[in-house]
Structure 1
Amino acid sequence: MRKITFKLLSNLSTRYITNGIILIIILFTYGIIGSYFIMDLNLIDSIYYTVITMATVGYGDYIPTTGIQKLFATTLALSGVALLAYVFNVILSNFQEKIGIFSKGAKKMRTIQNMDTYYILCGYGRVGKVVYNELNQRHQNVVIFEKNEELCENFEESTSSIILNKDATEDDLISKLAGKKCKSVIISTGDDVTNLFIVLTIRETNPDAWIVSRVSKSENFTRLRKAGADKLVSPEIIGGKDLYLESAKPHLLRLTVQHTPEEIFDEFEIIAKHECTLENIDYHIPGIETPLSRDIKTMDLEDGKRYQNFLKNNEEAMESLTNLYNSVNNIHSHLISGPNRNTLNELVKSLEKQETIIGKNLTDKEIAKITKKEIKRE
């Protein structure tokens, strides 16, 4: 308890300490000068009289007799009492504040200890808030590290969400929390250097922790990966891709089709012939709304030829692809971009001769209804 008390008092605001010292010096100087010139005491006795009067001890060694002496003694005593009250109040207020913070911190740690598992989120800025909302919607326990208290003013803590106003790069608490109970550490600050230090801090004591880090600059991908991050995500790159897709929407077509793996190259040949780009493929699991998505982003016919040769020479790959197509009843969607709407319309006419087209620009929900009917039909 003595250690805790000393720590709390040692953290007393320097502003209050400085003000107290200045007031004491001013009052002490006033007392010595007044005792010397008004009470007619020598220097040593002036210091002695000032101390006992300020402390309201009053041994009675020196009794003021004249009016000015009594006035001086009264002002010195009252000022001493006021100063002592001020210093005592500052210490008491600070002590109560620190005790409150200490108690609040202990309560937070108990809440974290009572969690079966949790995610650690470093950074509660623009990206961090989005990550937290995703975790909260899925009823996950979250421990947030955010040193900027202003960002946390409106955050409502609960038994499943705790926020710690600590710097994850300087506090070893994050290393202790990133143990077996931690599902994953998500680092979402916008500073790559900060993210790097957090990764190093955690990885040093938790080699098995799963760490996902945000990265802003492409040249820092390698550094963060070497530091120990398992996955790296760049909101800037993802945002740039979304901006392109949104801007290209007038020239984008989502085509839901049904064909076998043997017809892949024929389909790709038609897409390349119309100078369109195959952006991605979505494989629709029957009855499930969210598809399996795979980025392609190519319009080069040579890519298609290389892939066809790869499948011909790799039986295991062809078997895996065939199993995938069988599991989705050969139903999948292509996101195709083209130079203009007329070209896309011509592309659809050409593909209709090659394969079954289920629909254009269907939503995942609409496709899930179609695949669900396929299940019932079987």
Structure 2
Amino acid sequence: MRSKITVAIFLLLTILIIGVVGFKITMELSWVDALYMTVITITTVGYREVEMPSDTAKLFIIFLILCSVVIVGYAVTVISEYLISRTSIKELREKRKQKNIDHMENHIIVCGYGRNGREAVEKLIDYHREFIIIEKDQQVIDDCNLDEDLFLRGNANEDEVLLKAGIERAATLITALPDDTDNLFTVLSARQLNSELKIISRASEETSYKKLKFAGANNVILPDKIGGEHMASLIVSPDLVEFWDNLSYGGDDGVNLEQVSFEQMFDDDRGCSIIDLNLRQITGCTIIGYKSPEGDYTVNPDPKMMLTKGSKIIVVGNTQQIQNLQKVYRINNEVI
């Protein structure tokens, strides 16, 4: 189709140049008058002539009209087909994208594809998690290297856009918009549409932390604060921080930390103590943390601590040990 458009434009320019030069020679007109005569002849508008044409000029005009009718007709047909096809293809693509979103369940919605949103998406890709990105800037979508079908263009503050993204069926929403006010409105809208949704929000100012939590965010991340604390920690205990940074949470390079829920470990509601679980003997992994059903964390839990419904354990191990763990239990890289 693009080659046809190129040919059509080339023919239009050719007939225009032939007309201007022809009128310049046959009727000895100025360049402006020659252009004027060419345009009214090609378009068949029929305004008054600059001066009466000679017989030679009349023959040239007849030739120009016959050629222009064919060329202009061809050009109009090609351009019209292109515009119609572009509109149809775009509509079909949007319908296909929406159909795919409508089939998503327990997926993740990422609002904003800025610096933090991009990092979140890269990690989700490593985890092989299903997600959709809401981004209102078309230029950002065009400049990224991701499939455009992963993006839903719109304002995450609007309920209609969140509903199109499948907010009612989603498991988690990450709002990484640059403005705290936008994040606040997005959290409010999302919490209203899905009371069970896990919401993780970005915040630029510490004063926004409590507001976002009150609005319904489960977790609020302050990137600047985390970055500053991380740099200070590299001064106070550099070896410890570097060791922690080298631990991998997911991706193709192997995993060193993993979580296992009670539901993955047991098929019934009967509890079990950590020592009776015998996880180190079975998989080689070491339990370093416990998350209660209420969301409270315990570091290095007591071996006699009971695992109950809704609880989770956090384990550490080398790549092979974590792979053994994943084979024993139904690990699906849930969010801790």
**TM-score, scaled to structure 1:** 0.48
Q: Which of 155, 172, 184 is the equivalent residue of 1:184? A: 172
Aligned-partner SS, 2:171:
strand
Aligned CA distance change for structure 1 residues 252 and 140 (closer, same or farther; 3 Å):
closer
Aligned CA distance change for structure 1 residues 364 and 119 (closer, same or farther; 3 Å):
closer
Are the counterparts in 2 of residues 127 and 188 from structure 1 also a CA contact under 8 Å?
yes
For structure 1, list consecutive stretches of 5 or more residues without a partner in the other structure: 1-22, 40-64, 254-282, 295-319, 329-362, 370-378
Q: Which of 82, 103, 108 is the equivalent residue of 1:114? A: 103
Q: Which of 182, 185, 206 is the equivalent residue of 1:194? A: 182
- Residue in structure 1 matched with residue 31 of structure 2 by the alignment: none
Aligned CA distance change for structure 1 residues 191 and 76 (closer, same or farther; 3 Å):
farther
The one-letter code of the counterpart of 1:175 is L
The one-letter code of the counterpart of 1:291 is I
Instruction: Tell me how large the CA RMSD over aligned residues is.
Output: 4.4
CA distance in 1, matches of 2:290, 2:167: 32
Aligned counterparts, 1:8-27, within 5 A: 27=39
Are the counterparts in 2 of residues 34 and 72 from structure 1 also a CA contact under 8 Å?
no
Are the counterparts in 2 of residues 175 and 201 from structure 1 also a CA contact under 8 Å?
no
For structure 2, list consecutive stretches of 5 or more residues without a partner in the other structure: 1-34, 242-273, 292-296, 306-314, 322-336
Q: Which moved more, 1:284-293 or 1:110-119?
A: 284-293
- Residue in structure 2 matched with residue 325 of structure 1 by the alignment: 302
Deviation of 1:293 after TM superposition, in Å, equals 8.4
- Residue in structure 1 matched with residue 217 of structure 2 by the alignment: 229
Deviation of 1:170 after TM superposition, in Å, equals 5.4
CA distance in 2, matches of 1:137, 1:251: 26
- Residue in structure 1 matched with residue 150 of structure 2 by the alignment: 162
Deviation of 1:167 after TM superposition, in Å, equals 3.8
The one-letter code of the counterpart of 2:52 is I
Listed one character per residue, the Cα deviations across residues 257-286 of structure 1 (whole Å, up to 9, x for unaligned) are xxxxxxxxxxxxxxxxxxxxxxxxxx9997
The one-letter code of the counterpart of 2:75 is Y
CA distance in 2, matches of 1:189, 1:25: 57
Are the counterparts in 2 of residues 145 and 167 from structure 1 also a CA contact under 8 Å?
yes
The one-letter code of the counterpart of 1:150 is D
Deviation of 1:250 after TM superposition, in Å, equals 5.4
Aligned CA distance change for structure 1 residues 293 and 233 (closer, same or farther; 3 Å):
farther
The one-letter code of the counterpart of 2:39 is L
Aligned counterparts, 1:119-138, within 5 A: 119-138=108-127
CA distance in 2, matches of 1:103, 1:111: 12
CA distance in 2, matches of 1:32, 1:140: 65
Deviation of 1:100 after TM superposition, in Å, equals 1.6
Q: Which of 74, 79, 84 is the equivalent residue of 1:90? A: 79
> Would you tell me which structure has more helix in proportion to its own residues?
1
Deviation of 1:206 after TM superposition, in Å, equals 3.8
Listed one character per residue, the Cα deviations across residues 308-353 of structure 1 (whole Å, up to 9, x for unaligned) are xxxxxxxxxxxx99x953537xxxxxxxxxxxxxxxxxxxxxxxxx
CA distance in 2, matches of 1:252, 1:105: 49
Listed one character per residue, the Cα deviations across residues 234-254 of structure 1 (whole Å, up to 9, x for unaligned) are 12222222111112125979x
Listed one character per residue, the Cα deviations across residues 62-94 of structure 1 (whole Å, up to 9, x for unaligned) are xxx822123234334544544443343333212
- Residue in structure 2 matched with residue 61 of structure 1 by the alignment: none
Deviation of 1:209 after TM superposition, in Å, equals 3.3
Aligned CA distance change for structure 1 residues 113 and 83 (closer, same or farther; 3 Å):
same
Q: Which of 219, 222, 234 is the equivalent residue of 1:246? A: 234
CA distance in 2, matches of 1:97, 1:206: 36
**TM-score, scaled to structure 2:** 0.54
Deviation of 1:108 after TM superposition, in Å, equals 1.9
CA distance in 2, matches of 1:214, 1:79: 61
The one-letter code of the counterpart of 2:141 is E
- Residue in structure 1 matched with residue 328 of structure 2 by the alignment: none
Larger radius of gyration: 1
- Residue in structure 2 matched with residue 149 of structure 1 by the alignment: 141
Aligned CA distance change for structure 1 residues 85 and 121 (closer, same or farther; 3 Å):
same
Deviation of 1:120 after TM superposition, in Å, equals 0.9
Count of residues paired in the alignment:
229
CA distance in 1, matches of 2:209, 2:164: 26
Q: Which of 279, 288, 292 is the equivalent residue of 2:289? A: 292
Are the counterparts in 1 of residues 37 and 49 from structure 2 also a CA contact under 8 Å?
no
CA distance in 2, matches of 1:70, 1:208: 80
